[in-house]
């Protein structure tokens, strides 16, 4: 059995369009440009910058959430560089083959 570390988003700040600086409970930060992964039924609506900018921290699960129900696992946000290639490829596939 592998350990799955649990992270909590404590704070975020909008740095640029589609880009957030996120601080976690272990003291680390990530600056994430979400634009490459905004595809598919759930994430494509976030291309609307006014909707994207309505991001909040869910008080129960301590991750980023949007009014349309889009969210990311806090561990994914914490280790974003590790997940970005797969997320970008998935977004590309959604664009090529919409559901």
Q: Tell me, yes or no, whether 1 lies in a domain.
A: no
Is the predicted pLDDT of residue 6 greater than 80, yes or no?
yes
The single residue listed with the structure tokens 């990311």 is 72
CA 50 to chain centre: 16
Q: Tell me, yes or no, whether 3 lies in a domain.
A: no
pLDDT tens sequence across 42-87: 999 999 999 999 999 999 999 999 999 999 999 999 999 999 999 9
Which pLDDT value is given to residue 76?
A: 96
Query: How many domains does the chain fold into?
Result: 1
Q: Tell me, yes or no, whether 2 lies in a domain.
A: no
Mean of pLDDT values over 28-39 = 97
Residue with more model confidence, 6 or 30: 30
Count other Cβ atoms within 10 Å, centred on residue 58: 12
CATH code, domain carrying 68: 3.30.2020
Is the predicted pLDDT of residue 99 greater than 70, yes or no?
no
Domain around 26 = 9-96
pLDDT band at 3 (very low <50, low <70, confident <90, very high): low
Distance between CA atoms of residues 11 and 62, nearest Å: 9
Q: Tell me, yes or no, whether 60 lies in a domain.
A: yes
Q: Tell me, yes or no, whether 72 lies in a domain.
A: yes
**Which pTM was predicted?**
0.89
Which pLDDT value is given to residue 97?
A: 72
Which pLDDT value is given to residue 82?
A: 96
């Amino acid at each position: 059995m592998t350990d799955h570390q649990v992270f909590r988003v404590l704070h975020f700040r909008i740095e640029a369009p589609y880009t957030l600086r996120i601080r976690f409970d272990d003291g680390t930060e990530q600056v994430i440009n979400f634009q490459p992964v905004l595809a598919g039924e759930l994430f494509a609506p976030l291309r609307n910058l006014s909707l994207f900018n309505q991001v909040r921290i869910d008080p129960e699960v301590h991750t980023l959430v949007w009014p349309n129900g889009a969210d990311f696992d806090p561990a994914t946000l914490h280790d974003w560089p590790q997940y970005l290639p797969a997320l970008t490829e998935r977004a590309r596939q959604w664009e090529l083959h919409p559901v």
